[in-house]
Structure 1
Amino acid sequence: MVDKEISTLATALLERVEDLAKGMAARIRAGSRDYQYDVVPEDELAEACRIHLGNALRALTGQAPLDTEAATRIGRRRALQNVPLPAVMTAYRIGVKYFWEAVVAEATSNSLVGSDKLVAAASAMWVIQDGITEAMVSGYHDAVAQRLLASDQECSALVEALLEGRSMDVDALWSAAEALGVPRNGPFTVVAAEVPQIGRQALPEVAALLSRRGIRSAWRLRPDLQLGIVYLRSPRALDDLLGVLRQHAERRVGVSPSYDDLYGTGDALRFAKVAMRGGDAESRAVTVFDDSLVAVAAAGAPDVMARVAAHVLGPIEALPVDERELMLDTLDAWFSCGGSAEEAAKSLYVHPNTVRMRLRRIAERTGRSITDPRGIAELSLALRAVRQTPKPPSPESTPVE
């Protein structure tokens, strides 16, 4: 229940609401110059003050319950006008102070309420203002969320258009670059990351992670891949990008060669996908196209390389599972160590002679010499093709002695 004296005070103020609204708007305008509030037109600000004052005073008179819908609409409006929320909150604080001064002045000049009632009026007024402010903030956040969603959808559509290599005129390409927050000219690179499952990001929050390192990027999630266009503003940017990818990747990731024109994004995507397939199946390998030519060559024509692998490594693949994996791991380590049996032995925790013995067995079974360049090239390509192909579950075999 509203006290009769407070109701009388509020009613008296309600009769002067137009003048009070103009005075409040002027006070807000004068006190908010450092908070970018000048973007709000004067008549609009005065109208917002009139609405808030009217709602608050009617609630104090007991004539009507507090209407917060208007505050919600005004909050949305300020967000659309790009007024920072701290600036809006500053304006509301100035407005509340002005309102309280008007209440005190009216009570003092007309002796409508005593000091005890004025305290009660203050308590009621702050409750009302809290309700108005909360509604405004809620509307502001709703508008920001909707704008971010729309921006994300627009960005996603533009990324998709570039990745698909759709025909775009110069103006459209400039607009796409501006919307994505990247310059018109590169260098750029495309990242293709295998998703763990449909609808799940392969690289969660990757745009934010790269942004912290000063790297601009735009991303698109497809059912099987997460794709990104990354602006490499400095030579170090590629190293920073690879560091983030290696730290956060859950499955295979491919990185295209760099390119300078956004028109080349479609071709770069093709190279990124080939590089991704160049990594070992079901691994977290990050494969850079230009740095992994054997791997991308093997991944570039999967059907052809499957036949090459079967022809070259068929005798190894026919071994029991454990023995086959032992041979392939040894060959893989030997290639990774630049053909050094000693270094391969260290990585496998065996004696160098054990590595040499296994390599001789591989050469005997495949008919490819590990000293002949052609034989080495064929073994290398076949091995990459085998590693890149997911294997179906196999029954356990007898351990190799």
Structure 2
Amino acid sequence: MTRTLVGGGGRPGTLPPQVIAILTAELPSLAGEIVEEVRRSVPEYARQAGMSAPAAYQVTVEQAIAAFLDQFSGGGDSYARRDELCRELGRSEAYQGRTLDALQAAYRVGVQVAWRRVASVARERRLPAEVMTRLAEALFAYIDELASLSVEGYLEVRSSADELPGDHRRLLRMVLNPGAASGALAEAAAAAGWAVPDTVTMVAMPSGARCVREAMDGDVLVNLADAEPHLLIPGGYGPERAAMLNRALPERRSAVGLTVPLGEAADSLRWARRALALVEAGCLEDGGPTLCERHLLELWLLSDGPLLDQLARRELGALVAMPRTRRMRMTETLVAWLDAQGNAVEAANRLRLHPQTVRYRMRQISATFDRQLADPAARFVLDAVLRAYRLRERRPALK
């Protein structure tokens, strides 16, 4: 893309170094002000779903402002990072299923905030009118260029999504709709030339995930335009499908649901989305595609956070009053003892302690948890609550 921002076919000219230094000093606070004003002024971004990662947006704004100032200083020969960030904004709008109106409104708000700041600084520092004119012309032309880059990213995703025929999109919606009639699904599948499978495996992807459609098997149904992108793999998830997914999803983060009968596809997708949320929360490790079949216990234990909190208050309430250090010590000892099925020697090996130390601690713990430890059903609940908290918090069971 050309870098002509002001008439004349070249750079917008240079500015005195002291002017560039003055404007550069405004960059961090200006970027934050732009992001906040966009969130305040544009309804789509005022909602959490509209701007789920404010820090990422601020980085984009900072990069754009820095690149703008570089043009005046003679630096910034490479615009690759800035260009990609702007295109990613456009892609994000497309992935969220929105039009470009919100993003274009955000650009308008951004340039207004930027110009107000420049004008204020110019008045305070008494910058020459010639400098102000040059900055104004360059700034408004620059915003047009950034908006064009975002449009490129938006159209890139939309054209990719459009590669999926309309009848395939309808098929995917029908499969995920438990109320869809089997006859209607069979008829739609025949019209699309899609063989109805007995079983399916759903895959959940994060918002904004890149997908290489050319690398996807022809029988896979994909929805990239949804706020929560997903795809359907006919049949199971074996090595060949895994290799395909790795090629088709370069960023690798995704969650693969269980292979289920066709009528239970919505359940497979729900579990996959839950697993993906646990990865993003740090409860499950992000090792490329996360397979639900390897994390069934975690998905079950963490399926209802508020209920888990209620159980913790009932089962572990006695630990709350303890000092933090003692609470951590008692908790890790109890977990090891339960894992070792009451064998103090094995629990000591897990904790790298002397067995007598474990027995001493367990005598203290038994005074508090005597009922739970004596009753098999209560002991199971206690064990489940401790395991769930260890997974969810990735730190001692109680904070």
Q: Identify the TM-score tier after normalising by the shorter chain.
A: 0.3 to 0.5
Normalising by the residue count of structure 2, what TM-score does the alignment of the two structures yield? 0.41
Find the structure with the greater CA-based Rg: 1
Normalising by the residue count of structure 1, what TM-score does the alignment of the two structures yield? 0.41
